């Protein structure tokens, strides 16, 4: 079992829908990252969380440390949001960064 699990693996939605991507982890962490990967492969860092909630534009990320769970939400989704979203947890013992397998999001116009 991967130490960082994401769900769903694939998600197709209509433009305008509210999107939720989930990330569960089994290790103690010092920080959790949400990344966006576009079809060409380039990685963009969206959020770093160690507690609570962060918002940037239409993106919201939350983390519940006790439940070892984080969510990434996209409000008013748009076709340009289509990408792979990756959760990455940084272990608090060895500092390794462990990645989830990603969620492939496709927003239809």
Which residues are at the interface with another protein (CB under 8 A)?
2, 30-31, 33, 35, 40-43, 45, 48, 50-51, 86, 88, 90, 92, 95-102
CA angle at 72 for the pair 25 and 53, rounded to the nearest 5°: 90
Q: How many CB atoms lie within 10 A of CB 91?
A: 16
Min CB(31)–another protein separation in Å: 6
Of residues 67 and 95, the one with the C-beta less far from another protein: 95
Q: Tokens at residue 56, please?
A: 């940037």
CA angle at 32 for the pair 31 and 37, rounded to the nearest 5°: 140
Of residues 14 and 30, the one with the C-beta less far from another protein: 30
Min CB(60)–another protein separation in Å: 18
């Amino acid at each position: 079992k991967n130490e960082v699990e994401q769900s769903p693996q694939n998600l197709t939605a209509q433009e305008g829908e509210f999107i939720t991507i989930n990330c569960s982890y089994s290790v103690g962490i010092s920080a959790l990252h949400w990344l966006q990967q576009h079809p060409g492969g380039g990685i963009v860092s969206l959020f770093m969380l160690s507690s609570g909630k962060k918002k940037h534009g239409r993106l919201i990320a939350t983390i519940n440390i006790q439940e070892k769970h984080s969510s990434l939400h996209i409000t008013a989704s748009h076709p340009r949001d289509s990408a792979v979203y990756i959760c990455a947890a940084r272990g608090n013992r060895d500092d390794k960064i462990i990645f989830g397998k990603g969620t492939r999001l496709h927003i239809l116009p």
